[in-house]
Amino acid sequence: MTHRTLAYEVIADKLRKAVLSKSLPDGTVLLEGPIGALFDSSRSPVKKALVILEAEGLVRRFDGRGVLAGSEGEPLRIGITSEMLGLDDEGSASPKTFAWQNFYYDFENTVILRAVFGRFRINELALARHYNVGRTVAGDILNHAAESGIVERDEKSRWWINPLDEERFRNIYEVRLLLEPAALKSAMQRIPADTLETMRQRLIEVSDRFPQIASAELDSLEEDLHITTLQYSANGEILEALKRTRCVLVAGKHIQRAVRGTLPIDAFMDEHLDIMNAIAAGNYPLAEQALTSHLQASSTKAKERLQAYLATSKGTPISYVLD
């Protein structure tokens, strides 16, 4: 199977080359928003690319927003251009590479709220027509969703929505309870102290403003703990297995927003902070206990939100889903 280059891989590659070649001078402040604009990308792939480069030692944290290019140099706030990143070079990644991102959130939300009612087939051509895009972009949307386990492709190359009923939620949380503490054991020995401290401070800052916070900030905090932190694990097999469980992180946020007003917003920041503090102290037994308690509580809340949504919705027809 041909590997489909993902947005964060392209962004990481371009930034890596720019840092190594000094096209981005040492100390250049790199912010997710402006970089995303250059790539016609959302912030999420940029954030993931910067995490990769930080692990490689090509960017570093500092006492301010964003990260700094290189391993030395004072913060340098300059306008980053497409030329500096090699985006104007012949054969470089075109913004059209990420056209699928313009439609992905709507697709993800729609599909997840249908997945709670069972398994359904997706018509790829109808999906392309729905968003008025080509089959390539529709395929990009579906392939990205498949990475999170939201959809899957069968042996006849047909796309299906994976069901997200109560039983599957329960099974996936059981897997997370087994694997996330195991991944954390080696991850907490390898995660850079400044990366951990940045995530801790973000938790504190958001918690101080609760409930006046944006949904995207909650998503970012979930990713900090359950993806960014755990990716430092030395066991790649566990990380691959955990990728299949990310669908509940994705599904949870959409279902929670769908029932907002029926149930309170989940204020999980203190639970996350207990885990982060234990990691910072190098206390694995305490971190394991805090993570396990958090996952158990999250499982219960996920069940309650799912039941609340099912009690108020019967699902609506979708043009690209075959009922």
Q: What is the pLDDT of residue 122?
A: 97
* Global confidence as pTM: 0.67
- From first to last of the 323 residues of the chain, give the pLDDT tens digit: 334 456 778 888 899 999 998 999 999 999 988 888 787 776 777 888 898 899 888 999 988 888 999 988 889 988 888 888 888 664 554 444 567 777 888 899 999 999 999 999 999 999 999 999 888 889 889 988 988 889 999 999 999 999 998 999 999 999 999 999 999 999 999 998 988 998 899 889 888 887 777 666 777 888 899 998 998 999 999 999 998 898 888 888 888 888 876 555 567 889 999 999 999 999 999 999 999 999 999 999 999 999 999 998 888 889 999 97
Question: d(Cα 163, Cα 165) in Å, to the nearest integer?
Answer: 6
Residues 6+ apart with CB under 8 A from 52: 8, 12
What pLDDT, on a 0 to 100 scale, did the predictor assign at position 107?
A: 94
List the alpha helices (DSSP H) in the chain. 7-20, 32-39, 43-55, 101-115, 124-131, 135-147, 166-190, 193-209, 215-223, 236-243, 246-258, 269-280, 284-312
Q: Given this model, what pLDDT does residue 178 score?
A: 97
DSSP 243-305: HTTHHHHHHHHHHHHHTBTTB-----HHHHHHHHHHHHTT-HHHHHHHHHHHHHHHHHHHHHH
Spatial separation of the C-alpha atoms in residues 22 and 210, rounded to whole Å: 41
